[in-house]
Amino acid sequence: MKRIFLLTLLGIAIVASSALAQTFPGPANPTQARIYFYRTEDIANQVVRWTGVFINGQNVGSLGARSYFYRDVAPGTYRISVSSDIPYQDQYQNITVAANSTTFVRVFSVPGYGATVNNGQLYWPSVFGNHVTDPAIAQAQMAGLSPAQ
């Protein structure tokens, strides 16, 4: 009986771990590059805010906490940016991508940056930055995230 119980627990653990495992494949066309944009949990922020993501100034999607999306692009150099209420030093990044490559860009909020008090009212701007993240780290951080709608 104990053996059946342990085997059942092992089976449940295997099913649960495989359900949690996500794969983040490269571009569908090997002549292109895939760029994943993702955002983890914003623990410091009480209000869930979304931010726009831009490639060369063109809006390619939006991210909320715990979400991701990707875009396939031609090989080349791109300027990646995110929307912020006020400028932030890591708001813009230049990246170069090669054919059949996969790049991960983490978008993050910067809580408290630029907060001011005006006439007794606290102004807490939505400030976001982004940076290219090592693929192994990015994929671990993306586990359990949902595709952005």
What is the per-residue pLDDT for 126? 87
pLDDT of residue 76: 98
Q: The dihedral of CA 139, 141, 146, 149: what is its sign?
A: negative
Q: Please state the pTM of the whole predicted model.
A: 0.81
Q: Look at residue 13 in the predicted model and tell me its pLDDT.
A: 42
- Return the CATH architecture of domain 25-147: Sandwich (2.60)
Cβ 24 vs Cβ 37: under 8 Å: no
The 10 Å Cβ neighbour count of residue 33 is 24
Q: What is the pLDDT of residue 2?
A: 54
Which pLDDT belongs to residue 113?
87
pLDDT value for 130: 95
**Residue 11: both structure tokens together:** 């089976």
Distance CA 146, CA 48 (A): 15
User: How many whole angstroms separate alpha carbon 68 and alpha carbon 146?
Assistant: 6
Q: Would you state the pLDDT for residue 46?
A: 53
Cβ–Cβ < 8 Å for 39, 147: no
Residues of the chain with pLDDT under 70: 1-22, 42-48
Residue 143 is predicted with a pLDDT of: 93
